[in-house]
Amino acid sequence: MVRRRTQEDEEEIIRVPAFDNSDLIAKFKRTLTGRLFHPDGRRNNKFLFDFDKDEDLEKVLLKRPCHFNKWSFALERWTPTIKEDFPNTIPFWAYVVGVPIHYRKLETFESVGKALGAFDKADMEGSRVGVFLNGDIPLKFECKVGFDNGDVAKVTIQYEDLYRHCFSCKRISHEEGTCPELNEE
């Protein structure tokens, strides 16, 4: 059997021997890493912030979601990873509009929060959920919520501090005028 060589076959992997990098990991323990979802013509859309004190780092994390030029960006604690999509998590408060008053319980808001992303907390009085969203996937702005007795309610989602996004594909990486999913027709 003859197999054609591909470019991947020819690409050599340089093997690095085992070494201790615990000093580097310790060095970045008070570092936040961020990633812009809207590249704005930049090749490198990642950045780091170093802190002297844990308290200062925590204060910055509490101010999320973060924006630059009205574009949302992810900001997370640095971890030793080489994933291209890290960081990608953005915390948002999301208003859940349309929940009937007799279903405004923690279970309802937690279920909606889990459908949006990773549920963090609920504010039933304010009719909103705190969620951690993956900035690489489309946002949800409407959903149906089904209850144990068969009732179904349509709810809308309004994200607090969300400024720019695409109204067609629901992503935060661009606006509708530059949506790659739209064609000339």
pLDDT for 26-74, tens place per residue? 999 999 999 998 876 667 789 999 999 999 999 999 999 999 889 999 9
User: Are the C-beta atoms of residues 131 and 113 closer than 8 Å to each other?
Assistant: yes
Taking the model in full, what pTM does it have? 0.83
Task: Identify the band that residue 5 occupies on the pLDDT scale cut at 50, 70 and 90.
Answer: low
What lies within 8 Å, CB to CB, of 152 at 6+ separation is 144, 145, 146
- C-alpha to C-alpha distance for 28 and 66, rounded to whole angstroms: 21
Is the C-alpha dihedral spanning 42, 44, 46, 51 positive or negative? negative
Domain with CATH 3.30.70 in the chain: 90-178
pLDDT the model gives residue 40: 67
pLDDT the model gives residue 64: 94
* Mean pLDDT, all residues of the chain: 92
Q: Provide the residue type at 169 as one letter.
A: C
Q: Residue 75's beta-bridge partner residues? A: 34
Task: Identify the band that residue 9 occupies on the pLDDT scale cut at 50, 70 and 90.
Answer: low
- Would the pLDDT of 183 be above 90? no
CATH topology classification for 90-178:
Alpha-Beta Plaits (3.30.70)
pLDDT the model gives residue 180: 87
pLDDT the model gives residue 109: 98
Q: For 103-126, how does the pLDDT look when each residue is reduced to its tens digit (9 = 90+)?
A: 999 999 999 999 999 999 999 999
- C-alpha to C-alpha distance for 149 and 112, rounded to whole angstroms: 17
Q: For residues 51-90, b (16+ Cβ closer than 10 Å) or e, as one string?
A: eeeeeebeeeeeebbbeeeebbbbbbebeeeeeeeebbbb
pLDDT the model gives residue 181: 87
